[in-house]
């Protein structure tokens, strides 16, 4: 296969990515905590991870991608209590919305999406191993990891210069803490009144797992003791990933992760996203503003993943203009190819964009190369191009669009039949009358017949659902 290079957070260097024993790449990604809608900043990480999967496959590799769902922690328990729902009902609702949003953004479904609550026995088992080995201790029904017992603690986040505290004064009970020090962190949490019905029986009494523990137990249960690639947002480096390393390596004595992959955060109009600023956009908000999810995908890939990226509505406009231009080039090429086809492995003039992706996912370079190549090809076509050459360039363009995960945008759209248009019109009337039951029924009827109705700034349009003949 072709080489793919990627920055590794642990060694601070760009190095070739490799799968153990030439098998499928074991890629574990920390998934969302399902207590509310994921915002577009969360999705930046998942879109970049999806790009990596696509690049690895286009380079000739196989990948086993696992992305968990955190369905028990401080936030989900609080959310379920406030919503007056059992934890499982509350988290399944948000998990479903997350998966649906991901689909709209063109995320390839992972091989597995394990839920933390399905792995509680494995988590208890891991805590017991750590207690037996002297790396963990019980206090008031909770179990803590003894940070001083693991000399490698802090390597990933370069914590070595900071203070390491031990014992009751330096313990962190919350799932998330931002202390600039290593504290003994909680592996197993004793049941508290506010946890209500959420508890499991354990050797230390009723309780529940800590957040950091969940990922270690799931990753090792699914992949074994060492995984090839572990990813997440850069805010997870400390303490989450630092703690995952400590728990896993202290228990097994083996390296937990060979390559660390972190994606920087997203800013909105140059400001940190927050509820109080009202800029915590979700995919729903973006679509409500009349944009296509794929325009957002292109924006989320427009900056290099290791740099913070600034989102603004202007960046959406630029992305849309760019892909509309690509669409025009593509349809002219399609005409010029006169039905001739080239192999799916073809890159044509788009090889430069592909090479930029293989080198640490250099998306800004790759997009620039893609647009430049599109202009060059368009000039050549105007000057006269053979059917074969047009077919090659078309295959190359489709290939790179597939790697970027946006090819669905360019699928040939067939005109919707009159019957479908009538259903969509009826739905609009129902919507205007705020008859949501009827409008949902009409939407579902269209879906059954293979058409998706999309609402945008200029009204509705009908799109043939992928996979329908
Ligand atoms: Zn995790």
Q: At 287, give phi and psi (nearest 5°).
A: -70, -35
Give me ligand 1 centre to Cα 212, in Å.
Answer: 6
At CB < 8 A and 24+ separation, what contacts does 266-271 make? 266/40, 266/41, 266/44, 266/300, 266/308, 266/309, 266/310, 266/311, 267/308, 267/309, 267/310, 267/311, 268/40, 268/41, 268/310, 268/311, 268/312, 269/310, 269/311, 269/312, 270/310
Residue 177 CA to ligand 1 centre (angstroms)? 14
How confident is the model at residue 174, as a pLDDT? 72
CA of 202 to the centre of ligand 1 (A): 22
Alpha helices in 253-292 (DSSP H): 283-288
pTM as predicted: 0.87
The phi and psi torsions of 65 (rounded to 5 degrees) equal: -100, 125
**Ligand 1 centroid – CA 4 distance (Å):** 24
- Placement of tokens 């990604």 in the chain: 29
Distance in Å, CA 276 to ligand 1 centroid:
27
pLDDT for res 180: 46
127 CA distance to ligand 1 middle (Å): 16
Contact 294, 408 (CB under 8 A): yes
CA of 30 to the centre of ligand 1 (A): 4
* Residues listed for the chain: 469
Residue spans of beta strands (DSSP E) within 297-366: 309-311
| Ligand 1 centroid, distance to 381 Cα (angstroms) | 49
CA 160 / ligand 1 centre spacing (Å): 22
How many Å lie between the centroid of ligand 1 and the Cα of residue 444? 36
Question: Cα of 322 to ligand 1 centre, how many Å?
Answer: 35
State the distance from the centre of ligand 1 to the C-alpha of 108, rounded, in angstroms: 20
Closest by CA position to 267, among listed 248, 255, 280? 280
Domain boundaries, the chain: 5-263, 295-410, 418-464
Q: H or E segment at 228?
A: strand 227-233
User: Measured in angstroms, how far is the CA atom of residue 156 from the centroid of ligand 1?
Assistant: 14
CATH of domain 5-263: 3.40.50.620
Please state, in angstroms and as integers, the Cα–Cα distance from residue 304 to each residue in 22, 31, 337, following that order. Answer: 28, 21, 34
Instruction: Return the number of other C-beta atoms located less than 10 Å from residue 173's C-beta.
Output: 15
Half-sphere exposure of 309 (CA within 13 A, CB side): 30
Spacing, Cα 241 to ligand 1 middle (Å): 7
How far does residue 49's CA lie from ligand 1's centre (Å)? 14
- Ligand 1 centroid, distance to 337 Cα (angstroms): 48
Ligand 1 centre to CA of 114 (Å) is 12
Dist. CA 326 → ligand 1 center (Å): 38
CA of 33 from ligand 1 middle (Å) equals 10
Q: How far is the CA of 214 from the centre of ligand 1 (A)?
A: 7
In angstroms, what is the span from residue 170 Cα to ligand 1's centroid?
22
Residue 175: the pLDDT is 74
Query: How far is ligand 1, taken at its centre, from the CA of residue 97, in Å?
Result: 20
* pLDDT score recorded for residue 450: 79
Selection from 236, 198, 227 nearest residue 120 by Cα? 198
**Model pLDDT, residue 469:** 46
- Distance from the CA of 240 to the center of ligand 1, in angstroms? 6
CA of 215 to the centre of ligand 1 (A): 5
* Cα 138 to middle of ligand 1, angstroms: 23
Query: What's the CA-to-centroid distance between 434 and ligand 1, angstroms?
Result: 42
132 C-alpha to center of ligand 1: Å?
24
Residue 217 alpha carbon to ligand 1 centre in Å: 10
CA of 29 to the centre of ligand 1 (A): 7
Per-residue pLDDT 10s for the chain (469 aa) are: 999 999 999 999 999 999 987 789 999 999 999 999 999 999 999 999 999 999 999 999 999 999 999 999 999 999 999 999 999 999 999 999 999 999 999 999 999 999 999 999 999 999 999 999 999 999 999 999 999 999 999 999 987 655 555 555 667 777 766 444 568 999 999 999 999 999 999 999 999 999 999 999 999 999 999 999 999 999 999 999 999 999 999 999 999 999 999 999 999 999 998 878 888 999 999 988 888 899 999 999 999 999 999 999 999 999 999 999 999 999 999 999 999 999 888 999 999 999 999 999 999 999 999 999 999 999 999 999 999 999 999 999 999 999 999 988 887 656 788 899 999 999 999 999 999 999 999 998 988 887 888 876 567 888 776 555 4
How far does residue 260's CA lie from ligand 1's centre (Å)? Answer: 12
Q: CA angle, 464 as apex, 461 and 467 as ends, to 5°? A: 155
């Amino acid at each position: 296969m072709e080489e793919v290079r990627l920055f590794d957070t642990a060694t601070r260097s760009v190095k070739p990515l490799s799968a153990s024993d030439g098998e499928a790449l074991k890629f574990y990604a920390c998934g969302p905590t399902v207590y509310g809608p994921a915002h577009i900043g969360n999705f930046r990480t998942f879109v970049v991870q999806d790009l990596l999967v696509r690049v690895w496959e286009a380079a000739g590799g196989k990948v086993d991608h696992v992305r968990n769902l955190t369905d028990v922690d401080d936030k989900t328990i609080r959310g379920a209590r406030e919503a007056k729902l059992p934890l499982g009902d509350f988290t399944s609702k948000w998990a479903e919305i997350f998966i649906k949003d991901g689909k709209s953004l063109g995320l390839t479904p992972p091989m597995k999406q394990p839920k933390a609550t399905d792995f509680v026995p494995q988590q208890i088992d891991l805590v017991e191993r750590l207690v037996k080995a002297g790396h963990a201790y019980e206090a008031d029904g909770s179990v803590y990891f003894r940070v001083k017992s693991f000399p490698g603690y802090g390597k990933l986040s370069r914590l070595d210069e900071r203070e390491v505290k031990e014992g009751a004064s330096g313990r962190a009970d919350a799932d998330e803490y931002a202390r600039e020090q290593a504290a003994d962190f909680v592996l197993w949490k004793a049941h508290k009144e506010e946890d209500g019905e959420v508890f499991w029986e354990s050797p230390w009494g009723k309780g529940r797992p800590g957040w950091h523990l969940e990922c270690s137990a799931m990753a090792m249960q699914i992949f074994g003791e060492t995984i090839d690639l572990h990813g997440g947002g850069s805010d997870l480096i400390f303490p989450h990933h630092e703690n995952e390393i400590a728990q896993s390596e202290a228990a097994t004595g083996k390296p937990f992760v060979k390559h660390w992959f972190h994606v920087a955060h997203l800013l909105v109009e140059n400001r940190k996203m927050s509820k109080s600023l009202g800029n915590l956009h979700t995919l729903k908000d973006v679509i409500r503003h009349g944009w296509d999810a794929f325009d957002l995908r292109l924006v989320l890939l427009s900056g290099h993943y290791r740099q913070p990226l600034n989102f603004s509505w202007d960046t959406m406009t630029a992305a849309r203009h760019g892909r509309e231009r690509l669409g025009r080039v593509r349809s002219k090429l399609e005409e010029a190819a006169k039905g001739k086809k080239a192999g799916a492995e073809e890159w044509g003039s788009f090889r430069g964009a592909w090479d930029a992706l293989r080198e640490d996912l250099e998306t800004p370079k790759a997009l620039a190369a893609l647009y430049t190549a599109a202009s060059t090809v368009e000039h050549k076509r105007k000057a006269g191009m053979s059917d074969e050459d047009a077919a090659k360039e078309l295959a190359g363009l489709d290939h790179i669009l597939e790697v970027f995960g946006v090819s669905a945008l360019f699928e040939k759209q067939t005109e919707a039949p009159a019957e479908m248009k009538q259903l969509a019109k009826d739905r609009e009337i129902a919507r205007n009358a705020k008859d949501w039951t009827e409008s949902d029924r009409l939407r579902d009827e269209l879906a059954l017949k293979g058409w998706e109705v999309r609402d945008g700034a200029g009204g509705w349009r009908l799109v043939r659902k992928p996979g329908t003949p």
